[in-house]
Amino acid sequence: SNPKPIEEHLAEQLILAANNDSSSPSVKKRHELERIAQASR
């Protein structure tokens, strides 16, 4: 199978992040960091 071009993968990740979609690793990481920050206040 032919892997997705990097442009397509990046576009998908940007769309997921823009939609605040938890299936995006970046959004998951941000939520995790926000939880940690909240807990340490």
Q: For 1-41, write each residue's pLDDT tens digit.
A: 678 899 999 999 999 999 988 888 888 999 999 999 999 99
Determine the number of helices (DSSP H) and then strands (DSSP E) in the chain: 2, 0
Supply the range of the domain harboring residue 14.
Answer: 6-39
Note the pTM of the prediction, 2 decimals.
Answer: 0.61
- Residue 1 domain flag: no
* Contact between 16 and 29 (Cβ < 8 Å): no
Cα–Cα dist 25/39, whole Å: 21
* Contact between 24 and 13 (Cβ < 8 Å): yes
Task: Check residue 7 and give its pLDDT.
Answer: 96
- Residue 19 domain flag: yes
Cα–Cα dist 39/27, whole Å: 18
* Contact between 13 and 20 (Cβ < 8 Å): no
- Residue 12 domain flag: yes
Task: Check residue 31 and give its pLDDT.
Answer: 93
Query: Looking at the 3D structure of the chain, how many domains does it have?
Result: 1
